[in-house]
Amino acid sequence: MGSRNHLVVVVPGIGGSVLQRQNGDTVWAAKDRNIWDLLMHPGEMGLDDPDLLPAGLIHDPQLMPGITLMAGYNRLWSRLEKLPGADVDAGLPGRRVDDANIVAFGYDFRRSIVDAADRLGADVEKRLEALGWSGQHRRVVVVAHSMGGLVARHWLGRSDPDLSAGVVVRAVS
């Protein structure tokens, strides 16, 4: 696959997006510290806290060297970055690359699938426009995991049929 012919969007599963406060403090990155903090202070990630923003994909957190707490997106992302012609946007706040063709789409997994799907649709449209792609050249490959697959399916179910025709969804587990 020539990556310059496609917009590749990675949509993680629940808990797969890093969540940060607007001041840059990380609240969730699936690290042992975050899990402990969440157990001790469950209100830290309550829905009444609108200050949390997606900030990329989680990495493979290590409980201790060689023991993975849960799988992150390191291997997938490193392979996508190596595709010929890849221009990447890791989804970090303040570092958006509008014309990237490999995109990490983090979302606030505390909120609804509808909210995330609406954001995904708006983001894809902006990126296709920035890439100058229209009509048949609007090829989007969505690599989704778990809840990310539900977000992508909801977005596709409501999207423009011309765009949907060029979208390939690949679910990973």
Give the burial class of 34: count Cβ atoms within 10 A of its Cβ; 0-12 exposed, 13-18 middle, 19 or more buried: buried
Lowest mean pLDDT among 13-22, 55-64, 102-111, 139-148: 55-64
- Distance, in Å, from the CA atom of 59 to the CA atom of 78, rounded to the nearest integer, reads 11
Domain boundaries defined on the chain: 3-172
Higher confidence at residue 147 or residue 48? 147
| Average pLDDT score over residue span 85-91 | 95
The CATH code for residues 3-172 is: 3.40.50
